């Protein structure tokens, strides 16, 4: 199982993601958040095939399209976090932290 916590910043709705591999290219997804849009997205994304997120140009994969239809803000980092967690669980990427840091 791959677990990822995403702190999206200003909105304050921390998101907990759990991804379990269920086949060579398939995974189940469990997303917990107090954000109503993320809750809606979580209901749509319970199982995913890697090909659904790896095909097509940036922003046109299944997760990005689902995020848009659920009304997520364009700068919400949760969809990217979901993709990173899925890739890590399926062995397509290493588990390495992602950090956005503002410099002053």
pTM: 0.92
Q: Residues 66, 41: contact at Cβ < 8 Å? A: yes
CA pair distance 60, 25, nearest whole angstrom: 19
Integer CA distances (angstroms), 88 to 64, 73, 78, in order: 18, 25, 15
pLDDT in tens, the chain (104 residues): 999 999 999 899 999 999 999 999 999 999 999 999 999 999 999 999 998 888 778 888 999 999 999 999 999 999 999 999 999 999 999 999 998 889 98
Domain boundaries, given as residue ranges, for the chain: 2-89
Write phi, then psi, for 17 (nearest 5 degrees).
-120, 135
pLDDT tens readout for residues 29-46: 999 999 999 999 999 999
């Amino acid at each position: 199982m791959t677990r990822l916590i995403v702190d999206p910043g200003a909105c304050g709705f921390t998101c907990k993601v759990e991804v379990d591999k269920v086949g060579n290219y398939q995974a189940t997804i469990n997303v917990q958040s107090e954000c109503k849009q993320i809750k809606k997205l979580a209901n749509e994304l319970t199982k995913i095939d890697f090909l659904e997120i790896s095909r097509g140009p940036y922003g046109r994969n299944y997760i990005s399209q689902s995020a848009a239809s659920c009304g997520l803000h364009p700068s919400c980092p949760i969809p990217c976090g979901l993709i990173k967690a899925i890739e890590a669980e399926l062995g397509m990427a290493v588990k390495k932290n992602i950090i956005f840091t503002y410099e002053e």
